[in-house]
Amino acid sequence: MKTFSTGDIAGMCDVNLRTVIRWIERGSLKAYKLPGRGNNRVTEDDFRAFLHTHGMPVPTQLKPLSNRVLIVDDEAPMASAIQRVLRAAGFDTVVARDSFHAGARLLQDKPALLTLDLNMPTMDGSAVIRFVRENPEIANTRILVISAMGEPLLKKALLDGADAVLQKPFDNQELVLLAEQLLA
């Protein structure tokens, strides 16, 4: 479990160490104390939650250094196609063919990007997007919705919190470009 000291956080948020301690004292930043003199430690999850609830930008040190992409699609040919293209472009790829594995992989692998097929019959894509955005642990995940659905539904996905949408059928270059933009 990764933890940060007040100094780490002060550096990442570009504020004084004294200020971080005050945030902790006031209770807006959750922390625990080491036995010695009570030096503060903040877990990564608590720090992410803090950033999230205060609408603060995620520091570069916390940004997912990985270029891992989780591909959620129940149609094997489509999943493979996306995987092949993204892999060729240098991304790490993981495929989830059903909603259970999608949820599990999402929290196990913590991908930087999630490509989400909205046409899956057994999954409520809208609920997935909202779940991601509401979970500080993974809220920073980029979401690319891929679907054969019409404009209105894609618009709704964006409202739910998707970062981009891609309508099937799509061009391979278009996919790579979008992925790179989202992870830039």
Query: Per CB under 7 A, which of residues 97..116 are in contact with DNA?
Result: none
Figure out which of the listed residues 37, 55, 60, 169 binds DNA, where binding follows CB under 7 A.
37
Instruction: Tell me whether the omega of the peptide bond preceding residue 169 falls within 30 degrees of 0, making it cis.
Output: yes
User: For residues 122-151, which are near a copy of itself according to CB under 8 A?
Assistant: 122-124, 127-128, 131, 135, 137
The answer to whether the Cα torsion of 116, 121, 127, 132 is positive or negative is negative
Query: 32 or 100: whose CB is closer to DNA?
Result: 32
Instruction: Pick from 7, 15, 155, 174 the residue near a copy of itself by CB under 8 A.
Output: 15
- Considering only residues 14, 65, 152, 184, which one is a binding residue for a copy of itself as defined by CB under 8 A? 14
Q: Distance between CA atoms of 184 and 158, rounded to whole angstroms?
A: 19
**173 contacts a copy of itself (rule: CB under 8 A):** no
| The pair of three-digit structure tokens given for residue 95, joined into one six-digit string | 């495929």
Q: Which of 121, 129, 173 is nearest to 149 (CA)?
A: 121
Instruction: Work out whether strand 142-147 and strand 92-96 pair parallel, antiparallel, or are unpaired.
Output: unpaired
Region binding DNA by CB under 7 A among candidate stretches 10-18, 121-129, 150-158, 175-183 = 10-18
Structure token pair of residue 156: 């709704």
Q: Which residues make up the interface to DNA (CB under 7 A)?
A: 5-8, 10, 15-23, 25, 34-40
